[in-house]
Structures are given as C-alpha cells and as structure tokens.
C-alpha cells in the first residue's frame, strides 16, 4: 500500500484508478487509510464475499488464524477484462508499483 500510495500521482497521470480491497472491518480499514494517508479508495470485504468469489480466500492465513485474502494485484482494462495479474502466497511479496504502472501505460 505504501508503494502504491507513493506512485499514486503517476497512476492518475496515466489515467488509471487505484482501488484496494481489505478483509478488515470498515472501521479498521478506515483507520488504516487515515493512518497511512492512503489517497485512493479502500473497500472493506469483511464478510469475504468478494475474495471467495474471486477464488483468492486464504483460509486461516491470518496471524490469528482468521481467513484473509491471498495477495493479488489486478490491472483491469477499459473493457473490464483482467489485463494483468500478480498473485503471491506471501503477504509480504507484492509487485513493484513501477512494474504495475508499466503495464497500465502499455494498455493505452
């Protein structure tokens, strides 16, 4: 999130929107956004409906044994299709925002 926060102006300049989805409660997501000053929208999927529908639920993967989302980054094109995807089994492994931005710019 920090990397995306830093690169956010470049994504906007490229004509892209950045959206994140968290399995935290709306209150916890809001506090996270405020504490890190995240400039983009972070939705709460605390009931895990979306992550289940996308097939990215990581059962009992949280530190406390709770169900979390597998870390996934999607680039969706203007037609609503997945143009690029990065999936990881480790919450600490995320694509470099520069790599994602390059994909976005290549879609033009």
58: domain CATH number is 3.40.30.10
Give the length of the chain.
108
Dump the DSSP string for the chain.
-HHHHHHHHHHHHTT---EEEESS-HHHHHHHHHHHT--SEEEE-TT-HHHHHTT-EETT-STTS--EEPPEEEEE-TTS-EEEEEE-SSTT----HHHHHHHHHHT-
The model's pTM: 0.86
In this prediction, residues 31-47 reach a mean pLDDT of 95
Question: pLDDT tens digits for 63-85?
Answer: 899 999 999 999 999 999 999 99
Does residue 90 carry a pLDDT above 90? no
Does residue 91 carry a pLDDT above 80? no
**Mean pLDDT value across the chain:** 94
- Do 98 and 7 touch, CB atoms closer than 8 A? yes
pLDDT value at residue 29: 93
Domain span at residue 63 reads 2-106
In this prediction, residues 6-31 reach a mean pLDDT of 95
Distance CA 70, CA 29 (A): 17
Total domain count for the chain?
1
């Amino acid at each position: 999130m920090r990397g995306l926060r830093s690169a956010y102006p470049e994504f906007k300049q490229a004509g892209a929107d950045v959206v994140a989805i968290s399995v935290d409660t709306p209150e916890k997501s809001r506090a996270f956004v405020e504490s890190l000053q995240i400039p983009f929208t972070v939705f709460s999927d605390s009931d895990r409906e979306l992550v289940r529908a996308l097939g990215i639920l990581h059962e009992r993967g949280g530190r406390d044994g709770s169900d979390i989302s597998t870390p996934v980054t999607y680039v969706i094109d203007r037609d609503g299709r997945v143009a690029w995807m990065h999936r990881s089994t480790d919450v600490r492994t995320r694509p470099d925002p520069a790599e994602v931005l390059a994909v976005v710019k290549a879609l033009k």
